Structure 1
């Protein structure tokens, strides 16, 4: 059967189904979204395929039927099932696990992301250690910094993190034998994979939760409020947030004094009412 499109170009199964149907209907006019329902063994509904594309849960019972209709071979079928599990995972741990599976199953993992970049963004403590090197003199003995990092991580974990930072060229030893950052900052930039960045952001949001619940003297400033505004006002607020982030980056870049702390800034703006 003609594959119409390459499944390995995707990490989200709904987008794959959307583009697959659009490609196949060009040569198979009967493969509309309504027509696909009959092929899936659902002649009494004309909206199921479209509902799945729009967000309806795809159950395990229906996955083999999709595999058959899509004409996937064994390897492609396994990848499709992993995409489904990844998209529908309920916890961050599950999403991370299924994302790892996508990497392993992809014939060219670098198409999804750079392996070192994935390892860097897959764990929040890598960025914390990277920035902490500007605050502390860190030698090969990582116990002093391990005692200060919040939330706590093991010395062994920090050693592996330091090895990664050295391997990807983010840190190097200075003349005094201390590890220091070899660049001012790290951006997702060339590693700008939506799934990858999303996993990192989820970890950062969890850190905010832990900081909020922590009973200590560490400084924090957290606020939340819910509001109703017009679409135009919402766009204006979103723009102001972008301006704020740009201003914060400018302050960080222009700060010529010695760094004395490592801080996390998370900004969330989302809607509570669907369109």
Structure 2
């Protein structure tokens, strides 16, 4: 009978984080354990290959997946889950990811699903939690709740900043090293489609902050604009694809510097202003005046 593992791959939605946690666990329990030993254990010739994989600089190929699963002594179920998880994380298109998501859901026990949902709930519970995650890249960052609370706009309480740091550390999103914090992953994103109710709650908060910024933030420190468009279904799909690509470009641009001096929120909104024809109920009211296409930018005010 197999001994129960201290870390189960079934509780992860990112295989790189799983490998990193396994590495740190083995380093604590095996004297002299290193990335070189980790790679050798998996039968990989490059001593730093798994380190590069964990950092996101390399991907696992099919052969490497099998070697890692065998080295980590995964059960048949864990082995298959790990294989699908790698494919999910390395998928390039939304269609591919959606396909693998459905496969992953079939593997997870109910208690693991609840644990992951709790993790997402905690991270999405307050708008300032992801803000504090980004603050650790500031050149003058201090791991002091009072300092953090004083810098955030709109202001939060010291107790809220302290609780946010605890949550980020507890979830493994921030790591405490040499008296300060660093990000475990360079970037986080909700993805092309926001399905989770928890993530939607966070978006509601961020959109509300954007509304408040119209009055709270001077125009020279922000860029808030709007377009009202008359388009076809084909144009809608083309615009949506461009928004998704643009978001990824912005994310890539924003992760090129190790140290920063500002924190900004970038919201993307693109939604219909007409009902679906099948839902329309004709009334005897006067028809509304046709609206013209407008380009509105408050920066001119």
Q: Give the shorter-chain TM-score range.
A: 0.5 to 0.7
RMSD: 2.5
Instruction: Structure 1 unaligned segments of length 5 or more: list them.
Output: 1-106
TM-score, length-normalised on structure 2? 0.50
Question: What do the CA deviations read for 1:219-265 (whole angstroms, capped 9, x no partner)?
Answer: 11010121101111111111111111121122123x13621111111
Q: 1:218 to 1:128 in 2, by over 3 A?
A: farther
Partner of 2:253: 251
Give the number of equivalent residue pairs. Answer: 165
Tell me which of 138, 143, 153 is aligned to 1:135. Answer: 138
Tell me, yes or no, if structure 1 residue 238 matches structure 2 residue 222.
no
Paired residue secondary structure (2:203)? helix
Alignment of structure 1 residues 1-275 onto 2, 5 Å: 110-111=113-114, 114-175=117-178, 177-188=179-190, 194-216=196-218, 219-253=221-255, 255-256=256-257, 258-275=259-276
Cα contact 2:174–2:181 (8 A) shared by 1: yes
Q: 1:245 to 1:166 in 2, by over 3 A?
A: same
Cα contact 1:137–1:178 (8 A) shared by 2: no
Cα contact 1:142–1:155 (8 A) shared by 2: yes
Q: 1:118 to 1:185 in 2, by over 3 A?
A: same
Paired residue secondary structure (2:225)? coil
Paired residue secondary structure (2:206)? helix
Question: What do the CA deviations read for 1:19-72 (whole angstroms, capped 9, x no partner)?
Answer: xxxxxxxxxxxxxxxxxxxxxxxxxxxxxxxxxxxxxxxxxxxxxxxxxxxxxx
Paired residue secondary structure (2:228)? coil
Cα displacement (A) at 1:183: 2.1
Question: What do the CA deviations read for 1:98-117 (whole angstroms, capped 9, x no partner)?
Answer: xxxxxxxxx96945952122
Instruction: Structure 2 unaligned segments of length 5 or more: list them.
Output: 1-109, 277-301
Q: Tell me, in whole angstroms, the C-alpha distance in 1 between the residues paired with 2:173 and 2:220.
A: 27
Q: Tell me, in whole angstroms, the C-alpha distance in 1 between the residues paired with 2:269 and 2:158.
A: 32
Q: 1:233 to 1:207 in 2, by over 3 A?
A: same
Cα contact 2:172–2:184 (8 A) shared by 1: yes
Cα contact 1:122–1:199 (8 A) shared by 2: yes
Cα contact 1:135–1:259 (8 A) shared by 2: yes
Q: Tell me, in whole angstroms, the C-alpha distance in 2 between the residues paired with 1:179 and 1:201.
A: 25
